[in-house]
Structure 1
Amino acid sequence: MPAGPAYRPEPRFFDLGEEYGDAVGPADFPETILRVRNDRAAATVGLDSLTDAEWIAHFGRFQPLPGQPGPVAMRYHGHQFRTYNPDLGDGRGFLAAQMRETIRAQAANDRVASGSALPGRLLDLGTKGSGTTPWSRSGDGRLTLKGGVREVLAAAMLEAQGVPTSRALSLIETGEHLERGDEPSPTRSAVLVRLQHSHVRFGTFQRAAFFGRADQIETLVEHVRALYHPAVAPGDAPGLLAAIVAASARLTARLIAAGFVHGVLNTDNLNVTGESFDYGPWRLLPSYEPGFTAAYFDSTGLYAFARQPEAVFWNLTQLAGCLKLVADAEPQVLALTEALNGFGPAYIRELRVAFLDRLGVKSLGEAADQRLLDTTLALLREKGEAIRWEPLFHDWFAGFSSSARALAGPRASEWQGEAFDAFRFALFEHEPDRPERLEHSIFANPDPEEMLIDEVETLWSAIDTADDWSPLHDKLARLEATRAARA
């Protein structure tokens, strides 16, 4: 492999040893057909120079990348719909590699030459559908091609909307015919590789707590602190919890601002860096509906749209319970409680910021920002199905700078009434943030890029019935344009 200078292997999780993960091998797939290759994501870790053959060798056959020891199936437990499951772990995926992200120095006063590479965050390459592991139980360790396509779409959409998310690096079709009980079978198979900041889950701590291993929790605290929250002092479990609470509050606020319903916010699907990942039965809101659910099996609405903050907080309480095992005095226990209780205020602060970002305006202070948040939600609630979630943020991006565009657009007749007047007043109080972004071609389009379930099914149908991948790639290109325009 012609590894470039930006490739910096750093396999730190592997140093923890066999009590935290199991060395595994990938499945031997009958075919490896490259379907999605995310070169922009690959460039951030120095892997964009791979040829397609090398790409398939590393992300379809899983030949170890240089400086990487080989795949490991991570051990963890978790609450699934608030029922504890001690039989979890990487059952159809593994941690394939870890490396440093590259940051490009641009500022003139940087201490290095402009354009040179600086080490950034530690990033993981994790798989989905790569074969059975010791934690597969009765599963086949595989991923349906449709499931892979859906994850690619979810990650691209969320990144375009400014949500902290894993990125789908690679999708390779693997030539197997899978039997599934919840979709037409046999169905095509795939292996996905995602790039994200960490795969250490709340459930990683839960496994150690389940076995009463305070020593393992101490090891995890130091591992996570040093690599992902270095501002936290060594041994400061409450400080680490506070950092994870802050990251989780930001993630939750961004999911809400995006109108996204994750579907399975279990403790094994939340990580210590506050990134959304592992997209199964996800949905985006068609319009404002607090009780909207993504999973057909979520019969009680536990993970409904408006209950997602509650779900994340509940999961954080489970993490806090694990950290109590290493709290050596009553003040530390109280500090853990204080850190946990910081979620609510942090979430509200982050929600204001998220809505400002989605509307493309600057902060005017807490009171004015809260007024804009409240009036935006009130308008979405009043309009109901008449105005979908995403078009509001498209029409009114950059506030008053979009007035003429919005009032001449396809939803002009809806922009009236008391709720709209209150929203417009609150919006126009705020100065547009970089209004030059409106010059991008996406704002010349009457409608924004959305990702409702009907479109997802249409994109899949083209692949399933005609092996036509062009609609998917066209959609990904439009989502990339949206991300670039709003960035």
Structure 2
Amino acid sequence: MTFAVDNSYARDLPGFYVEWQAARAPAPRLLRLNRGLAFQLGLDPDGLERDGALVFSGGRLPEGAMPIAQAYAGHQFGGFSPQLGDGRALLLGEVTDRAGRRHDIQLKGSGRTPFSRGGDGKAALGPVLREYLIGEAMHGLGIPTTRALAAVTTGETILRQEGELPGAILTRVAASHIRVGTFQFFAARGDDAKVRQLADYAIARHYPETAAADQPYLAFYEAVAEAQAALIARWMLVGFIHGVMNTDNMAISGETIDYGPCAFMEAYDPATVFSSIDHQGRYAYGNQPLILEWNLARLAETLLPLFDADPDRAVAKASEVLDTVGARYRGHWLAGMREKLGLWHDHGDDLALAGDLLTLMAAQGADWTLTFRRLATDADAARALFRDPSAFDAWLPRWQARRAPDAAMRMAAANPACIARNHKVEEALAAAYRGDLAPFDRLIEVLADPFTERPEFEAYTLPAPASFGRYRTFCGT
């Protein structure tokens, strides 16, 4: 059994990719199928359970598929690489879901492409399952995200720093894989015609309402800025750290993409970094709003010729939008924080009230998720998270005076009981390497409904034990 795909990206944007084929997997095996997502996409889950090993390893192409490796560039940790591209991924095509929305279907870890830059183009089992888990965690939290449709093992071993590991391929679903770096690839080559062509495609696919604006390309840029400001605010509100906010990892659609060295923060500290390669803390938790603006400035640079033929006027128009990004982000963040705190109407003191709590949490290492969740129902339980609760005791009456009558209900809906706790993620991945997927499946079950407290899942609500040590993440997929 297979399914049919469209190829609007390949059809409408010749020269933006290289046609390519997946490497042959010697013994593909379907490890997990995201049946709910398959149904949402209008696919047949039962048929995919039967034939998914071949389909999701690239051995049997969907009807109409034309596998391509997409071209893009990107700023990586601030340094510009004019050619990156899909070095281990292939876009099979697009499907339209039951709601009429178009989605890319991409294989990740399917072998070398012309963009591989010396890599083997493969992925190991652990990073594939990690991306599957974190994508589902973000989806459960209601945060726009790419998702995993399937994970397959390939029947081969691949060499990594940790030794020989089982190879795997992730099938990723995204609103599209157009990145800031996609625009940068052609802008860096001075190909304004292709930048315009890409912008027209992105407008039609993601922001069709901007096509009717007096200045459609400026309206498009503003729409991307708004989507990204809302997205990063939602990351911050759940303590998520992406870890590698390079411009090639910033999707024009406003979805979270590329779950490499990401993780959820436990003890609140704005300087938290998990990525093993982020030595300077560029992508620390507290820097994410700043990198949002930096990345959007890089996007604006690629679009300047479309904003106005006069360079000075083009820069002025871009700056007008860029100057609003900080306020957009703060507006989304404060609205979300009001929900997290269950505040009664808007008040001029709300920012200070939230900021003072965060200062206390940072000073005493209070757990981000537990503090807000416990405030909803049991202030004493929240108090116990602070080593010296006297400052919390001074803050509490200010919050209680602002708390809405339905605060507990609102806060329970805004503050998850469970997140993808780092030690639970690692437990699931370690077990998977041993051939035991039960911890992975149980974690997926927990993350599908993170706002409901269930006694049987209490262990998933608690921070890592001290023995877990300092957590480090790595780029894997």
User: Would you call these one fold, judging by a TM-score over 0.5?
Assistant: yes
How far did 1:74 drift? 0.6
1:463, 1:469 within 8 Å by CA — same for their partners in 2?
Answer: yes
Q: Determine the structure 1 residue equivalent to 2:471.
A: none
Q: Determine the structure 2 residue equivalent to 1:380.
A: 361
How far did 1:60 drift? 2.3
Q: Which range moved further: 231-240 or 315-324?
A: 231-240
1:126, 1:194 within 8 Å by CA — same for their partners in 2?
Answer: yes
Secondary structure at 1:174 match in 2: strand
Structure 1 residues 141, 389: CA separation in 2 closer, same or farther (over 3 Å shift)?
same
Matching residue's letter, 1:79 = H
Q: Determine the structure 2 residue equivalent to 1:458.
A: 427
Q: 5+ unaligned residues in a row in structure 1: which ranges?
A: 104-118
5 Å matches for 1:341-420? 341-359=323-341, 361=342, 364-365=345-346, 367=348, 369-384=350-365, 387-397=366-376, 402-403=377-378, 407=380, 411=384, 416-420=389-393
Q: Determine the structure 2 residue equivalent to 1:426.
A: 399
1:227 to 205, 209, 221: 205
Q: Determine the structure 2 residue equivalent to 1:339.
A: 321
Looking at structure 1, the residues matched to 17 and 300 of structure 2 have their Cα atoms a distance apart, in angstroms, of 23
Which structure would you say has the larger RCO, counting Cα contacts within 8 Å and 6 or more residues apart?
2
1:251 to 222, 231, 235: 231
CA-atom RMSD, angstroms? 2.8
Q: Determine the structure 1 residue equivalent to 2:148.
A: 168
Q: How many residues align?
A: 448
Structure 1 residues 374, 98: CA separation in 2 closer, same or farther (over 3 Å shift)?
same
CA shift digits 1:431-451 (9 cap, x unpaired): 3669668999xx9xxx93243
How far did 1:415 drift? 9.8
Looking at structure 1, the residues matched to 33 and 90 of structure 2 have their Cα atoms a distance apart, in angstroms, of 19
Q: Determine the structure 2 residue equivalent to 1:297.
A: 277
1:132, 1:139 within 8 Å by CA — same for their partners in 2?
Answer: yes
Structure 1 residues 420, 96: CA separation in 2 closer, same or farther (over 3 Å shift)?
farther
5 Å matches for 1:64-79? 64-66=61-63, 68-79=64-75
1:208, 1:217 within 8 Å by CA — same for their partners in 2?
Answer: yes
Looking at structure 2, the residues matched to 433 and 226 of structure 1 have their Cα atoms a distance apart, in angstroms, of 41
2:227, 2:254 within 8 Å by CA — same for their partners in 1?
Answer: yes
Q: Determine the structure 1 residue equivalent to 2:55.
A: 58
5 Å matches for 1:196-211? 196-211=174-189
Matching residue's letter, 1:144 = A
Looking at structure 1, the residues matched to 388 and 38 of structure 2 have their Cα atoms a distance apart, in angstroms, of 42
Q: Determine the structure 2 residue equivalent to 1:475.
A: 443
Structure 1 residues 37, 139: CA separation in 2 closer, same or farther (over 3 Å shift)?
same
Matched, 1:276 2:272: no
Structure 1 residues 341, 427: CA separation in 2 closer, same or farther (over 3 Å shift)?
farther
Looking at structure 1, the residues matched to 218 and 249 of structure 2 have their Cα atoms a distance apart, in angstroms, of 22
Q: Determine the structure 2 residue equivalent to 1:36.
A: 32
Structure 1 residues 365, 263: CA separation in 2 closer, same or farther (over 3 Å shift)?
same
Structure 1 residues 438, 215: CA separation in 2 closer, same or farther (over 3 Å shift)?
closer
How far did 1:36 drift? 2.1
Q: Which range moved further: 122-131 or 193-202?
A: 122-131
2:25, 2:59 within 8 Å by CA — same for their partners in 1?
Answer: no
Looking at structure 2, the residues matched to 424 and 161 of structure 1 have their Cα atoms a distance apart, in angstroms, of 29
How far did 1:43 drift? 2.1
How far did 1:364 drift? 1.5
Matching residue's letter, 1:220 = L
Matching residue's letter, 1:460 = L
1:159, 1:483 within 8 Å by CA — same for their partners in 2?
Answer: no
Matching residue's letter, 1:226 = A
Secondary structure at 1:186 match in 2: strand
Secondary structure at 1:94 match in 2: strand
Q: Determine the structure 2 residue equivalent to 1:13.
A: 9
How far did 1:346 drift? 0.4
How far did 1:412 drift? 7.4
Looking at structure 2, the residues matched to 299 and 259 of structure 1 have their Cα atoms a distance apart, in angstroms, of 20
5 Å matches for 1:86-105? 86-103=82-99
2:231, 2:254 within 8 Å by CA — same for their partners in 1?
Answer: yes
Looking at structure 2, the residues matched to 346 and 412 of structure 1 have their Cα atoms a distance apart, in angstroms, of 32
1:309 to 249, 274, 289: 289
1:188 to 166, 169, 177: 166
Structure 1 residues 296, 88: CA separation in 2 closer, same or farther (over 3 Å shift)?
same
CA shift digits 1:140-185 (9 cap, x unpaired): 110111111211222122223332211122111112111113xx11
1:214, 1:325 within 8 Å by CA — same for their partners in 2?
Answer: yes
Q: Determine the structure 2 residue equivalent to 1:113.
A: none
Structure 1 residues 434, 460: CA separation in 2 closer, same or farther (over 3 Å shift)?
same
Structure 1 residues 437, 246: CA separation in 2 closer, same or farther (over 3 Å shift)?
closer
Question: TM-score by structure 1 length?
Answer: 0.84
Question: TM-score by structure 2 length?
Answer: 0.86
CA shift digits 1:294-349 (9 cap, x unpaired): 21121111111111111121111111111113232354432211111111000101
2:420, 2:447 within 8 Å by CA — same for their partners in 1?
Answer: no
1:57, 1:63 within 8 Å by CA — same for their partners in 2?
Answer: yes
1:368, 1:426 within 8 Å by CA — same for their partners in 2?
Answer: no
Looking at structure 1, the residues matched to 142 and 368 of structure 2 have their Cα atoms a distance apart, in angstroms, of 15
Matched, 1:157 2:137: yes
Q: 5+ unaligned residues in a row in structure 2: which ranges?
A: 455-477
How far did 1:418 drift? 3.3
Secondary structure at 1:247 match in 2: helix
How far did 1:367 drift? 2.4
Matching residue's letter, 2:14 = E
Matching residue's letter, 1:453 = N
Structure 1 residues 410, 336: CA separation in 2 closer, same or farther (over 3 Å shift)?
closer
Looking at structure 1, the residues matched to 166 and 405 of structure 2 have their Cα atoms a distance apart, in angstroms, of 47
Q: Determine the structure 2 residue equivalent to 1:328.
A: 309
